[in-house]
Homo-oligomer: A and B are copies of this chain.
Amino acid sequence: MELKPIYNFINKILCGDVKEILPQIPSNSVDLIVTSPPYADKRKNVYNTIPANKYVEWFLPIANELRRVLKDNGSFVLNIKEKAENGERHTYVIELILEMKNQGWLWVEEYIWHKKNSYPGKWPNRFRDAWERCLHFTKQKKFKMYQEAVMIPTGNWAKERLKNLSERDKMRFESRSKSGFGKNISNWLKRDKVYPTNVLYLPTECSNKNHSAAFPVALPSWFIRLFTEEGDIVLDPFIGSGTTAVASLQLNRKYIGIEIKEEYCKLAIERIKKEVKLNLFSGKA
Q: Which residues from chain A sit less than 8 Å from chain B, CB to CB?
A: 84, 86-89, 91, 94-95, 97-98, 101, 106-110, 112, 114, 118, 122, 124-131, 141-143, 145, 147, 159, 163, 167-168, 171, 195-199
Contacts and interface: CB of A to CB of B under 8 A. Distances in A.
Task: Indicate the member of A84, A97, A118, A131 with the most B CB atoms within 10 Å.
Answer: A131
Stoichiometry, copies per complex: 2
Given A112-B114, A125-B145, A159-B171, A199 B91 contact: no
Given A91-B97, A112-B114, A198 B127 contact: yes
Contact of A106 (B88, B98, B147, B168): B88
14 contacts: A87-B141, A88-B107, A91-B107, A94-B94, A94-B97, A108-B125, A109-B126, A125-B141, A125-B142, A126-B198, A129-B198, A131-B197, A131-B198, A163-B167
Given A125-B143, A128-B197, A198-B131, A89 B114 contact: no
B95 A98 contact: yes
A112 B89 CA distance: 14
Closest 5 CB pairs of A and B: A130-B197, A94-B94, A87-B141, A130-B199, A128-B197
Contacts of A101: 91
Contacts of A163: 167
Contacts of A89: 107-110
A114 B200 CA distance: 10
A131 B112 contact: yes
Contacts of A87: 106, 108, 141
Contacts of A112: 112, 114, 131
